[in-house]
């Protein structure tokens, strides 16, 4: 376990306490042990050191006193700020983007997930090259690879560029494969439901409960990275396919959104989104806004959405509320559940069945098929690992 110092500066734009809690959970999810926490207030970042020279000196003394090995900033640092901080602190410094990328690398299990993470990391690191990529020479034979007069940094950039080009081509092939699988599902007439939401909102626990699957679920950020799908039978509603997807987070790195676009765009092809919200979070509304922003970026805002407020067993004031809330048009807008205790799950299944029935009456403009009504048993068949 790596001894780490966490740095969070209050710029007055987000819930500061929630931001501190989130970076601590991110750090522990990556395998770090926070032993130092540094906070402060600024109107804007310092151009050279982000936190200013005084705070940098204070941080340096804490790093020495607590034998800190890694300093984690809960912000995005410029390459210059990162280099200056490492020069002053004499330990490794990473920012929020790098930390999230590291967690994704730790969680990726499938070949596609690993490819997407590597592509995101290379795109991020391409702006921070400091003789870090010469090991890629070995993949092409080393000697004789460089052009005459080429500097070490130029070699690194060229090798990295070639690797990025290779990964993008593989990603394009996978995107075509996704399209083929999606058309096959459409021919099988399965109504598709995607679980989306902020990381650690309880999507995987809900997925396991609805499908009786054994997907990994834990009180960690980004416990789920690889998309998993299961076919489920919902009585009169017939068969549906439920997919568990990667969680979103505030300031999700653009490199990750770009690299995971093929995976995230699967949500835009769903018939229904279940937007899972952690009802016990003090910043649940802000988290829902962050999720909607990413959905908008991948073109999924037109997909019908039901808000699913999870973990109501931890919120006493929500215990006596009706399980289903409807809008002024009589459509279901929110369902209150506890995926862990099972409270409200029958109401959620009913809401999904109602959405299936609504699709039969008012099919999507781009849908050429209707949902299936085969007699597949609960949790049986189809398991797609993205």
Q: Which residue ranges are tagged as binding site?
A: 197-204, 222-226, 244-247, 310-313, 338-340
SS3 call for 178: helix
Residues composing the chain? 386
- Residue ranges of the binding site for Mg(2+): 204, 224
- Looking at the DSSP bridge assignments, the partners of residue 308 are 276, 335
Q: What share of the chain is helix, strand, coil (3-state, %, to 5)?
A: 45, 20, 35
Helix (H, G, I), strand (E, B) or coil at 26: helix
Assess contact for 223 and 107: CB atoms under 8 A.
yes
Ramachandran region, residue 47 (left: φ > 0; alpha: ψ -120 to 50; beta: rest):
alpha
Residues at the annotated binding site for GTP?
Answer: 197-204, 222-226, 244-247, 310-313, 338-340
Cross-strand partners of 325: 334
160, 129 contact by CB (below 8 A): yes
Token pair belonging to 139: 């993949």
Closest CA to 287 of 262, 309, 304, 302: 309
Closest CA to 291 of 201, 195, 197: 197
Question: Distance (Å, rounded) from C-alpha 195 to C-alpha 248?
Answer: 11
For residue 124, report the phi and psi dihedrals to the nearest 5 degrees. -70, -45
Residues 6+ apart with CB under 8 A from 123: 164, 255, 258, 259
Q: What is the DSSP code (8-state) at residue 50? A: B
Do 312 and 337 contact (CB within 8 A), yes or no?
yes
> Residue 197 forms beta bridges with which residues?
276
Which stretches of 30-75 are DSSP H helices? 53-65
- Number of H helices and number of E strands within the chain? 11, 12
């Amino acid at each position: 376990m790596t001894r780490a110092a966490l740095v969070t500066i209050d710029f007055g734009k987000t819930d500061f306490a929630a931001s501190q809690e989130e970076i601590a959970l991110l750090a522990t999810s990556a395998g770090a042990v926070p032993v130092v926490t540094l906070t402060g207030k600024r109107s804007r970042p310092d151009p050279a050191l982000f936190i200013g020279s005084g705070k940098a000196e204070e941080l340096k003394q804490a790093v020495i006193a607590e034998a800190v090995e890694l300093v984690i900033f809960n912000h995005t640092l410029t390459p210059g700020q990162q280099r200056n901080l490492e020069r002053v602190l004499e330990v490794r410094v990473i920012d929020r983007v790098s930390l999230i990328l590291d967690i994704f690398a730790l969680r990726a299990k499938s070949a596609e997930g690993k490819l997407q993470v590597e592509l995101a990391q290379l795109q991020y690191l391409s702006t921070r090259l400091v003789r870090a990529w010469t090991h890629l020479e070995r993949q092409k034979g080393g000697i004789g690879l460089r052009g005459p007069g080429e500097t070490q940094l130029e070699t690194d950039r060229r090798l990295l560029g070639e690797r990025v080009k290779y990964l993008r081509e593989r990603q394009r092939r996978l995107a075509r494969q996704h399209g083929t699988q999606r058309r096959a599902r459409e021919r099988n007439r399965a109504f598709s439901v995607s679980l989306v939401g902020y990381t650690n909102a309880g999507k995987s626990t809900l997925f396991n409960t609805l499908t009786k699957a054994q997907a990994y679920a834990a009180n960690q950020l980004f416990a789920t990275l690889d998309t998993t799908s299961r076919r489920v039978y919902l009585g009169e509603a017939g068969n549906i396919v439920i997919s568990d997807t990667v969680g979103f987070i505030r300031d999700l790195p653009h490199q990750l959104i770009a690299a995971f676009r093929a995976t995230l765009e699967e949500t835009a092809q769903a018939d229904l989104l279940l937007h899972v919200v952690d009802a016990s979070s003090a910043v649940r509304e802000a988290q829902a806004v962050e999720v909607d922003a990413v959905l908008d970026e991948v073109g999924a805002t037109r997909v019908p959405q039901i808000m699913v407020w999870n973990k109501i067993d931890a919120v006493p004031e929500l215990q006596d509320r009706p399980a289903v809330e409807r809008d002024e048009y009589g459509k279901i807008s929110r369902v209150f559940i506890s995926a862990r205790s099972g409270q409200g799950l029958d109401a959620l299944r009913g809401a999904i069945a109602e959405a299936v029935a609504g699709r039969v009456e008012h099919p999507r403009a781009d849908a050429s098929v209707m949902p299936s009504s085969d007699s597949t048993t609960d949790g049986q068949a189809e398991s797609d690992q993205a």
